Structure 1
Amino acid sequence: MNQIDYTTTSPRFSVTNNKELDEGLAYLNEHGYVVISDVMSQDKVNMNKELLWKFIENVSNGTIKRDDPETWSNQWPSFSSHGVISGFGIGQSEFLWSVRSNRQVKNIFARLWNTRQLLVSFDGCGVFRDWRYNSTWKTSGGWNHVDQNPKLKPDRCCVQGIVSLTDQNERIGGLIVYPRTHLRFTELCDVTKKSNDFVQVPSDHAIMDQGRTRGKLVHCRAGDLILWDSRLIHCNSPATAIEERRPDEHVDLLRIAVYVSMSPTTFVHDQTLDEFREKRKQMVENNYTLTHWSTELAVSRKVFFLMKHNLDIVFISNSFSWQEFREKRKQMVENNYTLTHWSTELAVSLGNHTDLPKLSLDTFGAYQKALIFGTNDENDE
């Protein structure tokens, strides 16, 4: 079992100071992750929280009410095991586009990749509910993985990001990283299957050094941007230092993590850039949520499986004992989940994509279109 440091803070490097930002990107190269501060003001954080609640209430058709936590188990849109929201059109929502359009986010990725011709990811977000109010809301940790294929993509070709709308510490939970493991990335070739970019890392793998490879909870503040190399071993974790909730204490969302990644247009392969841009346009118009790979067109596979502690695909014969499966089914009923037609699996239904409205590029501003197509515009600084 690998040890995890939940309490030590990480250095934060301000985007408003060029010297600090360069030091932060050097830290990313060495450690595989970094925290960049001063990305989003508190006013913008609050505004984006409002947009998130607007999205959640709308997709539940009013069943979920932000001021009534008793309703937060009814049709809650995220996976209960890890908090990720990747369905219901989240990737093209007003909420996600508001966060992606923050100028400082692109400024940071532009400094990282040394270009402003960047494609933004159409990813979702992660939300933790305060499980002191309802213990079934507690997420799972320990599902260590990388998000890049070491056989097909051995070099750095993607840096993932989280714009955090909440503080992140041991009382809240959040991103767990294993610093410097990106430097040993090719050691994971032996557990890599086919062309998958998601690679689960067993706790007894040699890269974990028999438990001596130490994990770290990345502390940050609301409005910070966390970056990490896709070759870095990581997962997320629930809070570990929970204080008892007072009866009169306001129930709120513990963690809001908005996934944003940007990569250069030069990373697009196997088709012309014009062809790729046309397909990106179609993805936006058809309201698709994709992955962190902005230079690829992979629809989020989080829709198709339910994460457990070890992230097994949801076939019951491979994942759970019959007794465990019954208990999981019981929890699904208690939490009012809608599943798919597979009664022998625990595949959560994230809504029928054909029910989502079509979108028009006319509703996007010039800056947002530049992020969609990977072009510069007159507003680029």
Structure 2
Amino acid sequence: MPQVVLPDQSNYKGAKPVGAERPSPQLATGKEDEPQWLKDFQRDGYVVNKDVVSREKALNYYAPAGEDWLEGFKLGYKRDDPSTWDVKNLPRHIFGGLYGQYSFSHAQFVWDAKTEPNIVELFEKLWGTKELTVSFDGGSLAVPLPLDQVEGHAAPWPHSDQSAYRPQRHCVQGLLNILPNGPEDGGLMVLKGSALLFERYFQEHKHLESPDKWLIRDGYFWDEAELKWFYDRGCEWVKPAMDPGDFVLWDSRQVHYGAFPKKQNKRFAIYICYKPMAFMTEEQKERKIEAFNRGYCTTHDPCDFLVKSNQEAEWNVNFPYAKPVINEQGQKAIGLIPY
């Protein structure tokens, strides 16, 4: 049996984004019982759903589990000792706390979050089906660090998670917020309304397409000059205030970034994205199972995914802890058992 090939984010050579030749899933809109949050999502490009997981479970299970994950590497980090909050005491990460290696996506507490019934139900209502597949993307365990230990001294890094060559709504991302998340805390920043203008921007600026083309794989980093176009059309930066257990959804075209903590409060979040299983090819299903078996983290899109970089780097350890126990919902979402 030939080995399953897993396309890598760092050296993607495709002429188009993965799966660009196939249609995108459509939201389950226009029904009499369409929830208000779904209407708000379509209007603004994001929406916060309150109390999707109980505050008690967020603070008493998910938050300690994240601390256990960090401390378990035994690099010197101690959750209650700010003197140990230093990059040398933490596993490798980007932007001050984003983890996409060390099988973070397959930690037990992360899988417990992915299969929270209320989270799954949100995506079932979003797409109008119970037959869903889930992402293996990472999460944020952001500890306040000295600014010189963070890329760009913790400057904003606005981006969209879709390619200019995939301008239609194609993916909806989500995160479970675990710790209190106010205006001065680290957390998600969104450029409200930018998702609906994404396609128009690239249509109007095709003359600026570089000889090397815009990024083919899903993703686009915005500079301030480009963002002014969105500002001139009424888009505004918003930092959604979130309590422990809240869940935010956003269109992958939406301009966003993870802000670094301005004060001494940590920011913990788990990224979770579901899409209809019907939009996966048989080859992608094989890749998904293979990525799970290897403990790999992947990009946000549960169907048209790439493997994140450095999954087999010398410094990376896949499954640094025990492999997760996956419940029935999770096994179906991976493709290990049928719906």
Is 1:294 matched up with 2:302?
A: yes
Q: Report the CA distance shift for 1:148/1:297 in structure 2 as closer, same or farther (over 3 A).
A: closer
Any residues of structure 2 matched to 1:221-300 within 5 Å, and which?
221-239=243-261, 242=263, 254-268=266-280, 271-272=281-282, 275-300=283-308
Listed as ranges, the gaps of 5+ residues in structure 2 are: 1-31
Which of 101, 125, 136 is the aligned partner of 1:122? 136
Match of 2:49 in 1: 36
Contact between 1:119 and 1:265, CA under 8 Å: does it hold in 2? yes
Q: Which amino acid aligns with 1:351?
A: W
Listed as ranges, the gaps of 5+ residues in structure 1 are: 1-18, 243-250, 305-348
Post-superposition shift, 1:48?
Answer: 1.1
SS in structure 2 at match of 1:51: helix
What does the per-residue CA deviation read over 1:20-68, in whole Å, with 9 as the maximum and x for residues that have no partner?
A: 981001100011000001211123212011211221122x235322233
Greater relative CO (CA pairs within 8 A, separation 6+): 2
Q: Which amino acid aligns with 1:198?
A: G
Which of 218, 221, 225 is the aligned partner of 1:204? 225
What does the per-residue CA deviation read over 1:58-87, in whole Å, with 9 as the maximum and x for residues that have no partner?
A: 2x2353222333333234125363421111
Post-superposition shift, 1:360?
Answer: 6.7
Q: Which amino acid aligns with 1:373?
A: G
Is 1:219 matched up with 2:246?
A: no
Which of 299, 320, 327 is the aligned partner of 1:365? 327
Q: Which amino acid aligns with 2:68?
A: K
Post-superposition shift, 1:128?
Answer: 2.3
What does the per-residue CA deviation read over 1:219-243, in whole Å, with 9 as the maximum and x for residues that have no partner?
A: 1111000100001111122345x5x
What does the per-residue CA deviation read over 1:126-179, in whole Å, with 9 as the maximum and x for residues that have no partner?
A: 122235xx554666242111101132x222110000100012221213111111
CA–CA separation in structure 1 for the residues paired with 2:254 and 2:129: 23
Q: Report the CA distance shift for 1:368/1:96 in structure 2 as closer, same or farther (over 3 A).
A: same
Cα root mean square deviation, aligned:
3.0
Q: Report the CA distance shift for 1:80/1:194 in structure 2 as closer, same or farther (over 3 A).
A: closer
TM-score (norm 1): 0.69
CA–CA separation in structure 2 for the residues paired with 1:233 and 1:213: 10
What does the per-residue CA deviation read over 1:255-295, in whole Å, with 9 as the maximum and x for residues that have no partner?
A: 11111000111222xx43xx432321211111101111100
Count of aligned positions: 295
CA–CA separation in structure 2 for the residues paired with 1:161 and 1:180: 17
Match of 1:352 in 2: 316
Q: Which has the larger radius of gyration?
A: 1
Post-superposition shift, 1:89?
Answer: 1.3
Q: Report the CA distance shift for 1:359/1:188 in structure 2 as closer, same or farther (over 3 A).
A: farther
Match of 1:311 in 2: none
Q: Which amino acid aligns with 2:113?
A: V
Contact between 1:178 and 1:233, CA under 8 Å: does it hold in 2? yes
Contact between 1:141 and 1:235, CA under 8 Å: does it hold in 2? no
CA–CA separation in structure 2 for the residues paired with 1:173 and 1:20: 35
Any residues of structure 2 matched to 1:331-350 within 5 Å, and which?
none
CA–CA separation in structure 2 for the residues paired with 1:289 and 1:208: 32
CA–CA separation in structure 2 for the residues paired with 1:40 and 1:78: 29
Any residues of structure 2 matched to 1:57-206 within 5 Å, and which?
57-58=71-72, 60-61=73-74, 63-73=76-86, 74-77=88-91, 79=93, 81-131=95-145, 134=146, 136=148, 140-151=154-165, 153-186=166-199, 187-188=201-202, 190=206, 193-205=214-226
Match of 2:13 in 1: none
TM-score (norm 2): 0.77
Is 1:56 matched up with 2:70?
A: yes
Contact between 2:187 and 2:259, CA under 8 Å: does it hold in 1? yes
CA–CA separation in structure 2 for the residues paired with 1:43 and 1:213: 35
Contact between 1:146 and 1:232, CA under 8 Å: does it hold in 2? yes
CA–CA separation in structure 2 for the residues paired with 1:358 and 1:285: 14
